[in-house]
Amino acid sequence: MTENGAVEGWWQLSDVELLAAYHDARRRFTEKKFARDTQRARLECLRARAFAAGAGGVTERKSAIDASEELARKGQEVREMTRDLDLIKVEVDLIAMIARLRGASAAADVKAEELAEGEDERQHEGR
């Protein structure tokens, strides 16, 4: 859900549907992040190869890399992937916020707090 009424649509979902939407958004975020990071690493590898293959001093090599249209195009693709990734992250954060506001994760939060308190008590007993 990325249209204008997405927040209202998520708000009207049942808890199970909301958690499924959250899981789907997290999955998409992870896939896009992996793809973006892979492209970023490939771009850095291409830049390193171009630097090593270049002639002249460091300044001339860096200038040649900066002037390369192919590397500039690939850099633009990585920036666009980052923008898309940021939009998906906003979607993930919104769904998580709605779930917290509605109390869908209240049981999980209580359980996490109980575990943390239990660990604190064990640490104090060990002293």
58-117: pLDDT as tens digits: 888 888 888 888 888 999 999 999 999 999 999 999 999 988 888 755 555 555 556 666
Residue 80 or residue 126, greater confidence? 80
| pLDDT value for 1 | 47
Q: What is the mean pLDDT of residues 23-44?
A: 94
What number is the average pLDDT over the span 2-28?
84
Mean pLDDT of 40-58: 88
Per-domain residue ranges of the chain: 6-126
Q: What confidence score (pLDDT) does residue 93 get? A: 92
The b-or-e profile of 18-36 (16+ CB within 10 A means b, else e) is: beebbeebbeebeebeeeb
Q: Say how far apart CA 7 and CA 2 lie, in whole Å.
A: 9
pLDDT, the chain, mean: 81
3-state SS record for 4-63: CCHHHHHHHCCHHHHHHHHHHHHHHHHHHHHHHHHHHHHHHHHHHHHHHHCCCCHHHHHH
| 33 pLDDT tier (thresholds 50, 70, 90) | very high
pLDDT at 25 over 90: yes
Is the pTM for the entire model greater than 0.75? no
